[in-house]
Amino acid sequence: MSSFSLHKTERISAQKHIDALFGKESAAMVAYGFRFSWILLPAPAQTCAVLFISSKKKLKSAVERNQRKRLLRELYRLNKNPLLDFLLANELRLALSLNYVGSSPIKMSTHEPAFVQAINKLILAVQKNHTSALPAAH
């Protein structure tokens, strides 16, 4: 199995996970035009399940929304390895929603470095939230 693949099992399809991503228990952040929302999942789940979002409010045409989601999937597929390595090392399971909230159209050449920085910022945020949720050691 290639490390640059994005299988159907890596995508969120359960309605309860989608509802939880937009509920009160989820965490969120915006980095470099990308908005991430996430929740931690119980152990038997996939390491990282992803939901790609494109707003109908900003993009009226379905063609444009589908193109944006296709480009988001490609950015994630090519740059997900640091996130997956972090999750595996810390034995975490994550449900993640990914949305591009920038005003300019997505271009792979210009947005890929920003996406890599956003993934690194996401790793730091998950690490911070995860460690602060642990009980204090006596």
> Does a structural domain hold residue 49?
yes
Q: For residue 41, what are the domain limits?
A: 8-132
**Residue 59, pLDDT score:** 84
pLDDT tens for residues 42-101?
A: 877 778 899 999 888 888 899 988 999 999 999 999 999 999 999 999 989 999 999 998
Residue 138 confidence class, pLDDT cut points 50, 70, 90: very low
The answer to whether position 1 is within a domain reads no
Give the type of residue at 43.
Answer: A
Beta pairing partners, 95: 39, 49
Q: How far apart are the first and last CA of the chain?
A: 43
Domain CATH number, residue 126:
3.30.230.10
What is the pTM assigned to this prediction?
0.85
pLDDT computed for residue 137 by the predictor = 41
138 domain-assigned: no
Inside any domain, residue 41: yes
3-state secondary structure of 120: helix
Q: For residue 79, tell me if it sits in a domain.
A: yes
Q: Tell me which DSSP letter residue 58 carries.
A: T
**Structural domain contains residue 52:** yes
Residue type, 83: L
Q: Which residue has the tokens 């490609």?
A: 74
List the 27-31 sheet strands across, edge first.
27-31, 34-40, 94-100, 48-53
Residue 3, domain member (yes or no):
no
Mean per-residue pLDDT for 26-49?
Answer: 88
How many domains does the chain fold into? 1
